[in-house]
Amino acid sequence: MLESGWTITVLFLNKILPILVLPLGFSLFLLVIGLTKKRHSFIEAALVLLYACSVPWVADRLEAWLEAKYPPIPVEQAESADAIVMLSGIFGPPVADGYVLNVGEASERLEGSIQLWYHHKAPWLVFTGGRPPWETKQELEGDVSTRVAVSRGIPADHIVVTHEVGNTADEAKAVAQLVRERGWKKVLLVTSANHMRRAAIQFRDASVEFVPFAVDYCVDPKRKTNLLDFLPSARSLAVTENVVREAYGSLFYSMLRWLH
């Protein structure tokens, strides 16, 4: 009974509560309060918040803050390890054989992993078997990544795909199992720069020694500010929401570790 209650609590804190914390959800919450209670201050606060979170000037700075902890590293300068571990989350909806793959914005994870292997940074390439429970994909992401890597010349017997995983915490546990079974000491962890903070927490909690190799940077720190940076856009709101989601996720798992 206690375990069931704990599971429900974790589900609420991890999946449901963030909806109200994210800019769009919180703005709508303020609007509802303002309209039902006829409080103009709540409506004004909602509009200001929505505008602020929707302009590139804010979104890019938040993204840059998230990415700054793990600056890019030239492939040649990356540390050597026992295996290169790429986290899932790079493919869109599945396609039939013969069609071009639907690759998302995080495709640099795959490219970075392949380049690391070709630069002899590790003898093994590990893909996680990503398949979130709410998606309808029949094939694990790791199997799709394997086909791409093999087509790029990497031998199939140097590739390992973990069992099915649904999130970053599952990925860390699956990799930890591989590390124990194969006697690996250290892995190169490849994921998007804005996701590395949260991934690092999960892999530390799973007692996996890793070297971060971040890719998929979204912000150019040298770009100059211009008028367009203050015009709201759906893209900037999505960026801000992702930053808040990642920050919340890091905080959530840190609190979970403290509670345990």
Looking at per-residue confidence, does 116 or 252 come out higher?
116
Q: Alpha-carbon distance 257 to 14, whole Å?
A: 14
pLDDT digits (tens, 9 = 90+) for 74-125: 999 999 999 999 999 888 888 777 888 888 888 999 999 999 999 999 999 9
Share of the chain above pLDDT 90, in %: 65
Within 10 A of 19 (CB to CB), how many other CB atoms are there?
Answer: 12
What are the residue boundaries of the structural domains of the chain, listed by start? 2-69+233-259, 75-215
Is 204 strand, coil or helix?
A: helix
- Whether 114 and 152 have beta carbons less than 8 Å apart is answered as yes
Q: Which of 10, 3, 1 is nearest to 256 (CA)?
A: 10
- Residue 175: is its pLDDT beyond 50? yes
Q: pLDDT of 2-31, one tens digit each?
A: 444 544 455 555 666 667 778 998 999 999
Residue-level pLDDT at 57:
95
- The residues, any chain, with a CB within 8 Å of residue 253's CB and separated by 6 or more, are 169, 198, 201, 202, 205
Q: Tens digits of per-residue pLDDT, 139-161?
A: 889 999 999 999 999 999 999 99
Average pLDDT, the chain: 88
Three-state DSSP state, 150: helix
What pLDDT, on a 0 to 100 scale, did the predictor assign at position 1?
42
Average pLDDT over residues 194-201: 92
Tell whether domain 75-215 is in CATH 3.40.50.620. yes
pLDDT in the model for residue 103: 85
